[in-house]
Structure 1
Amino acid sequence: MAEPRLPDVYGPGTFTDRHFVSVPADAHRILRVLAAQTPGFSNDESALSKVSFEGDDDPVIPGPVKSTPVAAALHAMTGILADEILTLRGLPNPNRKVVINTTHTALWLGSVAAVYLDHQPVISLLRDKKKFDSLVPDWQQRGLGPRSNPLLKLRATAIYPTKAPGQWYCLHGSLNPEPMLRNLGIDPFPEQPPITTLAEAAAYLRNATTTMSPAEIEYANLSAGHCGTICHTPASWSNTTMGKSLANHPLIDILPNPPHSTPLPPIRFPPVDATRPLPLQGIKVLELARIIAAPVASSILSSLGAEVIKVNAEHLPDMSILQLTLTAGKTTTCLDLRDPADLAQFQGLLGEADIFIQGFRPGVLDKFGLSQDDILTMAVRRNRGRPGWQQVADCASGVAYVMGRAYDLPHGEPVLPSLPVSDMTWGSWVVRGSLVGVDMFLLREEIGLYSREVVERCQERFRWGRMRGENHVLELLRTTWEGWEVWGKGLSILRPVVRFEGMGVGEEGRPGWRSAGVPYGFWDKGEVRFEGR
């Protein structure tokens, strides 16, 4: 039996490895942990042994959380399922192997920054707003009222101290912080004194949060429906109602559809082109989502051959930088579901889709006839097969607390992970993704945390700049990227992580995207339709 991990090195409820295991070897172990815990997933060693892991022995992401081996194991599960689907589609191949490079996986977690534009890393272009705006249209401000101070807007999503000593709160301004700030009694357009630096913006917000207890801020946000969370330790989060509920489920769980829904038999996959044998070739996906988590899911499906149509509304903002990577391989258009004609067109697309991915809070789409029951009823009719934010999840679950302890910050100051790990790795069948569920899995005793020695060795290699609780996730991403630049400058957009070997075909048979990222709503809605089967 393995030695128990060291308790409480990074605070209450943390478990740290006694001995270092290389990232590829740890991914190999975690794949088997996940396979054993996931309902319906193969535990057959002949399937699991089709996967091989390669890459740097040491982690390449700041902090002790094992984001890379867990993400690599999840990609391996994707590869195993892809191999099984190819077999179901008449292309069995005992020589087909799934190869996962764990260093590639780490880069993939930061892939929204791993793109070059006009021969420059896009993350460095963020320092030159004028040039960035000249190259990338501003989707972020669509539908917003008067623009808030950009410095205050950036600092409105960050971690701040409260009136209670040593207790912190994660504010989240979403894409428009004005309502959240006003609700907390904070003027979003202060004139005296004027805010001219990020440090002044952070101080302005800190002066407000330190007049309130964590419970007061939480109640104000909860009452108004705004995002945010008290920053928990892993132990205190595990004792909350939600923490206890999530602990009763594996990371990936399969739950039955509602009892009143009509069971549907499985259907055959459409024929596959043997010259480009991607597992999801011919599968149609409709995406109605913004930001990262749901678009990443459809991006992975696209890389495996699925046809993806991404729909947004002209009046709803999105983050500009994300369009460069998370629209690759997709057709994008704008439809306003409040308009009867646009809603009818959307429902027509939905009627053809095999998979519908949406990223809105439960109940938001019900008024458009797009509730879970509506979708299940539509599936029966055609007789064919079946807000949450990363920062809030990181702070609630205790991940941000662990990162702050790893950096030896004073007064229990939490820090967000430098990469949007839970956004990039959520997974769960109807399918729901839990960002907090991913974070809780990362903190389980059976997964473990890297020791301080490993964290310091990684820091020495990449020399990342100082990270603090007030930093926005884009600043943390830029700091991480600047350390990664030691690998050179040749990257334009990352390949998918899953790689097949022994396919017997060329590049066309490898996961990848058939088109580059395109602007928000790039195609005219009158031209958007799924290709015929």
Structure 2
Amino acid sequence: MPTNPTYSVPRESHILLHDGILSNPLHTPFLPPEIKDAAKSIEFIGSSEPSIPINWRFAESISAIKGFQAAMLNVLLKKKYGVEYQKVVINTDHAQLFIMSVMLPVIDPLGAKIRLSDREGWYKYYPDGDKHHVLDGGNFVSASTNIYKTKDGRFFHLHGSLNAVPIQRALSLSSPPASEGSLSFTDACSLYQTAISQYTASELESLMDDTHRQAGTTCWSTTEYLSSPHGKANAHVGLYEVHHIPSTYSPKAQEPMWWTPFGLSEAPHEAPLKTSARRPLLGLKVLDLTRIIASPTITRELAELGASVLRITSPNVPDMTALLADLGWGKWNAHLDLTRLPDRERLRALILESDVVVDGYRPGVMEKWGFGKEDILTMFEGKKKGVVYVRENCYGWNGPWMGRSGWQQISDANCGVSLEFGRAMGNDEPVTPIFPNSDYCTGVAGATGVLQALLERAEKGGSFVVDVALNYYSQWLINTCSTYPPQIWDQLWEAYDRPILRHTDNMGVTLYPLIKKLTENPLGARIFNPDFFELRENKAIGVPIQTVKPILGFPEGVVELGYNIGSRGNGVDEARWPEDLLTEIIKV
């Protein structure tokens, strides 16, 4: 790809941060007034040309949102610790690894060199929680998450979620007589296509989303989404919303305050563990009720800043534990079974000790057990401190589709991102964008919303609700971030020999080949700079892991990013907050 002096990824990331986020009328009225000054010390560096063959400006998007996070952190550093705004350097080549980081860890890199594709080796350290074999169920299962053409000529994104059986039953599909191992992916797609072609897109929405409560959406254009009742209902939202919930119990309840560190020794030789700008969120208790990528990224980002995160899962609920080598850093991990009253009481006690609670389950799931938004806010009425409650979903928290189940691919298809990617390759059909970009960007946005809520809690008291959604990010992507100019996209596409993906090329088809293409192409290879990776000790599993370094760089050394504890499998720890943080960090 020839150098184009009219375009620069770092420069465009800078513009996107300052104009597309900090001066965006969807954000500006609600942000801390100091944040624009705090953002002046953020520098973007890196290659001028984009590296990933996608028409959407993914490189600029993640870089700008990480810059937003850094600016909000700068505000917190000054208000809580009296530290002047720190210089933060974001390398936009490095930042692009963030949106594919789930694919990149290497377990025991100095020994067995286990990668994600080696499921048997991987599950030795992160026991398999994929109870319905979504990742390893063969082509018949893999094809359940894909885009198919409908009876009325539209396209519909079907999603097998964590169990493909419900949608297979809804479509009257059963596993073919031949063994799944011998069924090709093309033949498996044909089975679904035949079933899907019996329905219009509207009928499928009713069948999947309303009748069977399974994830699925018509693949709308960007214009169709924005003009839909649901798009209009969420058009006022930027990357997230922060809602202040003042206490009505008494003037002394939920007073303005920062979090109270716990178990921190005052001994001089242990001074680095005291709450300070070095580890800005040290002592913050974050309860993690999340799965998959977007909402776990929220809590991992907080852990990177020093927060103590306790992840609660159930031994009876499926989970993609293969993701934990990337998303489990800094998190204790315990099991509770909410069908048991004692475990519900234990969760209630943990919530009351927490500063932040993050719920990433489908709307209505935690309400069933008494742990929905209103339940948790009510728990803190009359207490000295309020809580920051974060809820993340696919579609957003307004409009007729609010309660639907969804995933990254569903949001991309719903908001028109997928259709524009397909059209950029010359076909009037949607194609799922490469890498779980909207997942990771939503996670960073959510973590930034938590930082803002913590700032506001320290000033106003009360509790806060942070609303985050994949669609909030996706609608910002289409409205503000946008696609590359035609000349830049044409040059980028040409550099990769103009690959053409089709609507049935799901992420199972594209991810591994694309990683290989990137490493073999001069444009892509530069983002795999060894300086962008680090070897992390991981006492929790007994071997180190090589993975992507934190994206934010603090050259003055005042802030140190990293994790208090290593990543581990589900249910390894007790469902409790540690009494002595120092002892727990040394132990695990």
TM-score (norm 2): 0.78
Task: Give the structure 2 partner of residue 164 of structure 1.
Answer: 152
Deviations 1:241-295 (A, max 9, x none): 1111122222333334389788833213446837772211111100011111110
- 1:439 is aligned, of 464, 468, 474, to 474
Q: 2:418: which partner in 1?
A: 400
CA contact (8 A) 2:77 2:277 kept: no
Deviation at 1:132, TM superposition (A): 4.9
The 1:422–1:76 alpha-carbon spacing in structure 2 relative to 1, beyond 3 Å, is same
User: What is the distance in 2 between the residues matched to 1:251 and 1:293?
Assistant: 13
Q: Distance in 2 between matches of 1:318 and 1:300?
A: 20
- The 3 A distance-change label for structure 1 pair 259 and 191 is farther
**Counterpart position of 1:244:** 232
Aligned to 1:97: 87
Alignment of 1:308-327 (within 5 A): 308-327=309-328
> Mind listing any 5+ residue stretches in structure 2 that lack a counterpart?
262-272, 388-404, 450-463, 520-524, 534-545, 583-588
- The secondary structure found in structure 2 opposite 1:443 is helix
Could you tell me which residue of structure 1 aligns to residue 395 of structure 2?
none
Residues 1:265 and 2:251 are matched in the alignment: no
1:497 maps to a residue whose letter is I
**Structure 1 pair 248–121 and aligned structure 2 pair: CA distance change class (3 A):** farther
C-alpha distance in 2 between matches for 1:399 and 1:306:
34
Q: Contact 1:61–1:480 (CA<8 Å) still a contact in 2?
A: no
What one-letter code is carried by the residue in structure 2 that aligns with 1:395? A
- Distance in 2 (CA, whole Å) between partners of 1:377 and 1:193 is 52
Cα deviations by residue, 1:370-428 (Å, 9 ceiling, x for unpaired): 1222211222232213343111110010000011011223xx22111111122112235
Give the counterpart letter for 2:12 in structure 1.
Answer: D
Deviation at 1:320, TM superposition (A): 3.0
Alpha-carbon shift at residue 299 of structure 1 (Å): 0.2
Aligned-residue offset at 1:469? 2.2
For the pair 1:481 / 2:515, whether they are aligned, the reply is yes
For 1:294-321, what per-residue CA distance to the aligned partner results, in whole angstroms no more than 9, with x for missing partners? 1000000000010001110011111132
1:110 matched to which residue of 2? Answer: 100
Deviations 1:470-501 (A, max 9, x none): 23324433233223323458542112222223
CA distance in 2, matches of 1:253, 1:312: 26
How many residues are matched?
Answer: 501
CA distance in 1, matches of 2:5, 2:200: 40
Return the alpha-carbon distance in structure 2 between the equivalents of residues 479 and 227 of structure 1.
26
Letter in 1 for 2:436: P
User: Does 1:62 find its partner at 2:97?
Assistant: no
CA distance in 2 between counterparts of 1:147 and 1:291 reads 12
Residue 277 of structure 1: aligned partner: 278
Q: Deviations over 1:178-206 (max 9, x none)?
A: 1112112222x221697521111111111
Aligned CA RMSD, in angstroms, stands at 2.9
SS in 2 for 1:160: strand
* Matches of 1:122 and 1:442, distance apart in 2: 35
Write out aligned runs for 1:224-243 (5 A).
224-243=212-231
Q: After the TM superposition, which of the residue ranges 422-431 and 384-393 deviates more from structure 2?
A: 422-431
Match 1:419 to one of 435, 449, 457? 435
1:149 and 1:453 map into 2 onto residues whose CA distance is: 42
Given the superposition, is the C-alpha separation of residues 267 and 502 from structure 1 closer, same or farther in structure 2, using an over 3 Å criterion? Answer: same
The amino acid of 1:320's aligned partner reads T
1:7-27 per-position Cα deviation (integer Å, ceiling 9, x unaligned): xxxxxxxxxxx9953111111
Post-superposition Cα deviations, 1:152-202, rounded to whole Å, max 9, x if no partner, equal 11110111111223x110000111011112112222x22169752111111
Task: Structure 1 unaligned segments of length 5 or more: list them.
Answer: 1-17
Which residue, 206, 226, 244 being the options, matches 1:219?
Answer: 206
1:513 partnered with 2:585: no
Tell me the CA shift for residue 531 of structure 1: 4.3
Give the match for residue 553 of structure 2.
499
CA contact (8 A) 1:261 1:373 kept: no
1:150 aligns with 2:138: yes
Q: Distance in 1 between matches of 2:498 and 2:134?
A: 36
In 2, Cα distance between equivalents of 1:436 and 1:530: 39
The residue aligned with 2:127 is: 137
Aligned AA (1:106)? Q
Partner residue in 1 for 2:542: none
Say if 1:115 and 1:121, in contact at 8 Å, map to a contact too.
no
Inter-CA distance 275–231: structure 2 relative to 1 (3 Å threshold) = closer
TM-score, normalised to structure 1, is 0.86
Cα distance, 1:475–1:464 mapped onto 2, change above 3 Å: farther
Q: Is the 8 A contact 1:157 1:170 kept in 2?
A: yes
Could you tell me how far 1:466 is from its partner in structure 2? 5.0
2:226 maps to amino acid:
S
Q: Which amino acid is 1:153 matched to?
A: V
Q: Are residues 346 and 468 of structure 1, via their aligned partners in 2, closer, same or farther at CA, if it must alter by over 3 Å?
A: same
1:105 aligns to what SS in structure 2?
Answer: helix
Asked if 2 retains the 8 angstrom alpha-carbon contact of 1:36 and 1:43, the reply is: no
Matched AA of 2:52:
I
Match of 1:175 in 2: 162
Please tell me the residue identity of whatever aligns with 1:354.
Answer: D
Distance change >3 Å, CA 425–CA 206, structure 1 → 2: same
Identity score, percent: 26
Paired with 1:36 and 1:145, the residues of 2 have a C-alpha distance of: 45
Equivalent residues of 1:175, 1:318 under 8 A apart: yes
Matched, 1:200 2:187: yes
SS in 1 for 2:547: coil
1:523 and 2:573 aligned? yes
Structure 1 residue 368: Cα displacement: 2.5
The answer for the alignment partner of 1:209 in structure 2 is 196
- What is the letter of the counterpart of residue 305 of structure 1? G
Please state how far the C-alpha of 1:364 moved relative to its aligned partner.
1.7
